[in-house]
């Protein structure tokens, strides 16, 4: 039996922080993270926590002091270098709170770089708690071992997101009418060419209006896509579309490496 070289040791606990990370740096966690480390996870002085900030890779931090409201750590070694990730945006019509939390978490696990709530004609939610979306994204990033947290944009109208959409970023629009290009075929088109940024736009329950679909179909950067013969809920459609894009044109094409 051949021996394998062990990968870097990874602490069991993992946190996203805003601080710069470098050898020997001292990090002080805020009240919420300190409560989690001390009272929920029952960590002790000398334990190690993995820290990442989306810029400097992942670092091991040794707990030096546990206080009632703060925890101090000293960075000991870099565990992983920062790596590039697919530039994949998810724009979606807001849905009920529990399901929008699900979308934020699962989209983070699937590797999106930005979450954009979009208000369409049939969107039923008038308010979006972007702070809650970001909190869900951070928690998911900590658990799934990615090195970044997706940005969360403020809600925007469909007209405004389309008028400000970068011309060089392909936008795949979920079209439940059956006239869209099969998503696997559309993903294959971008997989066969040079790597390019792209986005997915998923409508609300009830879908886009005929006028919305017609207007979007006239834009050069838009490709309307179909997600198969069955009608999906909005949250299912978002996760399904992301999975196909990642599998055919994204980082699922590479074996998992640490």
CATH classification of the domain holding 230:
3.40.1280.10
Q: Does residue 8 carry a pLDDT above 70?
A: no
Backbone phi, psi, residue 171, to 5°: -120, 115
Residue 189 lies inside a defined structural domain of this protein: yes
Whole-number Å distance between alpha carbons of 199 and 241: 10
pLDDT over 90 percentage in the chain: 83
Q: Is residue 195 very low, low, confident or very high in pLDDT (cuts 50, 70, 90)?
A: low
The tokens of 22 are what? 């470098």
Same domain, 50 and 92: no
Q: Is residue 9 very low, low, confident or very high in pLDDT (cuts 50, 70, 90)?
A: low
Residue 3 lies inside a defined structural domain of this protein: no
Mean pLDDT for 55-63 is: 97
pLDDT given for residue 115 in this prediction: 99
Same domain, 148 and 225: yes
Give the structural domain span for 59: 13-80
The torsion of the CA quartet 13, 17, 19, 22, rounded to 10 degrees, works out to: 30
The answer to whether the CB of 89 falls within 8 A of the CB of 200 is yes
Same domain, 179 and 58: no
Q: Is residue 258 very low, low, confident or very high in pLDDT (cuts 50, 70, 90)?
A: low
Same domain, 49 and 177: no
Residue 249 lies inside a defined structural domain of this protein: yes
Q: 17: domain CATH number?
A: 2.40.240.20
Residue 5 lies inside a defined structural domain of this protein: no
Task: Write down which residue in 32, 52, 80 finishes a domain.
Answer: 80
Mean pLDDT for 125-146 is: 96
Q: Is residue 2 very low, low, confident or very high in pLDDT (cuts 50, 70, 90)?
A: very low
Same domain, 128 and 222: yes
Mean pLDDT for 119-140 is: 96
Q: Is residue 97 very low, low, confident or very high in pLDDT (cuts 50, 70, 90)?
A: confident
Same domain, 119 and 146: yes
Whole-number Å distance between alpha carbons of 177 and 207: 9
Task: Write down which residue in 80, 106, 121 finishes a domain.
Answer: 80
Residue 258 lies inside a defined structural domain of this protein: no
Residue 57 lies inside a defined structural domain of this protein: yes
Closest CA to 206 of 148, 121, 87: 121
Same domain, 124 and 215: yes
Same domain, 143 and 219: yes
- Please give the tally of structural domains in the chain: 2
Q: Is residue 194 very low, low, confident or very high in pLDDT (cuts 50, 70, 90)?
A: low
Q: Is residue 68 very low, low, confident or very high in pLDDT (cuts 50, 70, 90)?
A: confident
Q: Does residue 109 carry a pLDDT above 50?
A: yes
The answer to whether the CB of 171 falls within 8 A of the CB of 202 is no
Same domain, 73 and 189: no
179: number of Cβ within 10 Å: 10
Give per-residue pLDDT as tens, 153-172.
999 999 999 999 999 999 99
Question: pTM of this prediction?
Answer: 0.91
| DSSP string covering the chain | -----------SEEEE-SS---TT-EEEE-HHHHHIIIIIS---TT-EEEEE-SSS-EEEEEEEEE-SS-EEEEEEEEEE-------EEEEE----HHHHHHHHHHHHHTT-SEEEEEE-TT-------HHHHHHHHHHHHHHHT-S---EEPPPEEHHHHHHTS-TTSEEEEE-TTS-SEEHHHHHHHHHSSS---EEEEE--TT---HHHHHHHHTSTTEEEEE--SSPPPHHHHHHHHHHHHHHHHSGGGSPP--
pLDDT given for residue 228 in this prediction: 93
Mean pLDDT for 47-69 is: 95
Mean pLDDT for 13-18 is: 96
Q: Is residue 238 very low, low, confident or very high in pLDDT (cuts 50, 70, 90)?
A: very high
Give per-residue pLDDT as tens, 204-234.
999 999 999 999 999 999 999 999 999 999 9
Q: Does residue 4 carry a pLDDT above 50?
A: no
Same domain, 146 and 196: yes
Same domain, 122 and 52: no
Residue 8 lies inside a defined structural domain of this protein: no
pLDDT given for residue 225 in this prediction: 98
Q: Is 202 left (phi over 0), alpha (psi -120 to 50) or beta?
A: beta
Task: Write down which residue in 61, 80, 99 finishes a domain.
Answer: 80
Same domain, 224 and 127: yes
Residue 93 lies inside a defined structural domain of this protein: yes
The tokens of 129 are what? 């708690």
């Amino acid at each position: 039996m051949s021996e394998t070289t062990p990968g870097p040791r990874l602490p069991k606990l993992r946190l996203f922080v805003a601080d710069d990370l470098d050898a020997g740096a001292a990090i002080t966690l805020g009240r919420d993270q300190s409560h989690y480390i001390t009272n929920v996870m029952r960590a002790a002085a000398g334990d190690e926590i993995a820290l990442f900030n989306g810029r400097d890779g992942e670092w091991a931090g040794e707990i030096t002091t546990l206080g009632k409201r703060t925890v101090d750590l000293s960075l000991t070694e870099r565990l992983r270098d920062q790596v590039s990730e697919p530039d994949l945006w998810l724009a979606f019509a807001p849905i009920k709170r529990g399901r929008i939390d699900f979308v934020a978490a699962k989209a983070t696990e699937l590797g999106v770089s930005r979450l954009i709530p979009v208000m369409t004609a049939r969107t039923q939610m008038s308010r979006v708690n972007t702070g809650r979306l970001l909190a869900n994204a951070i928690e998911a990033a900590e658990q799934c071992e990615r090195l970044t947290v997706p940005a969360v944009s403020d809600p925007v109208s469909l007209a405004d997101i389309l008028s400000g959409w970068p011309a060089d970023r392909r936008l795949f629009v979920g079209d439940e009418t059956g006239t869209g290009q099969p998503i696997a075929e559309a993903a294959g088109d971008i997989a066969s060419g040079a790597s390019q940024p792209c986005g997915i736009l998923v409508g609300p329950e009830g879908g886009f209006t005929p006028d919305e679909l017609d207007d979007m179909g006239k834009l050069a950067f838009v490709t309307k896509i179909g997600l198969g013969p069955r009608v999906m809920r909005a949250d299912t459609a978002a996760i399904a579309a992301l999975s196909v894009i990642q599998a055919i044109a994204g980082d699922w094409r590479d074996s998992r490496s640490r």
